[in-house]
Amino acid sequence: MPQQVLAQASSNSSPPASPQPPRPRQQAPRKQERDLQHREAPAPPAMAAADEHQDLTRAFAGMGGLGVDEAALVAALGRWRRQPERRAQFRRGFPGFFSASAGAGIERCEDEYLRHLEDEFARFRDAAVLWALHPWERDARWAHYALHGAAHPRGVLVEVACTRAADDLLGARRAYQALHHRSLEEDVAYQVKDATAGLLVGLVTAYRYEGARVSEELAAEEAKALAAAVKAAPATASAARLVQNEQVVRILATRSKPQLRATFKIYKELHGKPLEEDFAGEPCLQEAVRCLDSPPKYFAEVIGRAFREDADKHAKATLTRAVVSRADADMEEIKDAYAKQHGAKLADAVAKNTNGHYKDALLAMIGK
């Protein structure tokens, strides 16, 4: 087109040019130019390489949240193929997890970090397996691990006993017998050697009334009984503890949840603070009150603690347990409670604090 316009502009001063055959399309030179540009493309800038290294470090360590970023790891396998020097640089830049081994000429992986990796890689696997189990079997296995696992918090027993419906707790006890050839209550009575044994046996063997009927008169009477027990509680650790008080154990282990909520409400009205505050120093009692009073508020609290920087392995494990066990129960109420407590959506908090397939699995169970 530019040649035609030029020819027209000069037609008044020169004879018409003889027609010229169309010029061939220059496809080959452009392709060669692209190939040359591709071959001569500069190496990634140092900043990009540093960012890639940092992203992989965060994903590999699980330090960017719970779980690991499997996609980042798989991508690195391809990008770093046949580049052992990059993996060596990665190990050297990972203080606290790899250390130089004198005389061996290697960057040795610390045993503690290997255990950490096992925990992080296992989060998705555990969530998927637990989700597939029957809820009664799931609770029975959690209870068994709480009793027989090394240093596992006994609060799991309180959680299972106090947040499940009566028939579900009974089903978990039946599953426990089928799996372990003995009853849950006999294991609790035998394995728990401290002052909480009586309360825990009472909680796991409870079959609570689940109707809506509540006696305000009874609630007032038992609120006063609880107050008397708190007032009479000894100040010395060597004396009988509040968790061993017969009235306290009887009320918490037998009354229906609506009845207990009425009792807790009257107690707060009479004394200006919730009962769990007066149970200070008795974590088993405090957890029982929170679980019996409002399971959604309780689970929103423990999920929030799982995201804290100082959360230990048991606090982190609570996230999987809470989401898997409540996905089909009261997850919508938990989401509302979490938003009130933390000023953020639960799904957003999970997306921010977890990684990879583990994050995807939790979000799928939580829903948006």
Label residue 109 by pLDDT band (50, 70, 90): confident
Q: CA angle 325-327-331, nearest 5°?
A: 110
Maximum distance among all alpha carbons in the chain?
Answer: 122
Q: CA angle 29-32-33, nearest 5°?
A: 85
Sorted by where each starts, the structural domains of the chain and their CATH numbers stand as: 297-366 (1.10.220.10)
In a 3-state reduction of DSSP, which class is residue 66? Answer: strand
Task: For residue 347, give every residue at least 6 positions away whose Cβ sits within 8 Å of its Cβ, in sequence order, or none.
Answer: 335, 363, 366, 367, 368
pLDDT above 70 (res 366) = yes
**Which letter does DSSP use for residue 354 in this model?**
B
pLDDT number for residue 316: 94
Global model pTM greater than 0.85: no
pLDDT of 236-246, one tens digit each? 554 458 999 99
pLDDT of 216-271, one tens digit each? 999 999 999 999 999 998 765 544 589 999 999 999 999 999 999 999 999 999 99
pLDDT of 160-193, one tens digit each? 999 999 999 999 999 999 999 999 999 999 999 9
d(CA 339, CA 178): 40
pLDDT of 33-84, one tens digit each? 444 444 433 444 555 666 666 767 666 655 557 998 888 888 888 888 888 8
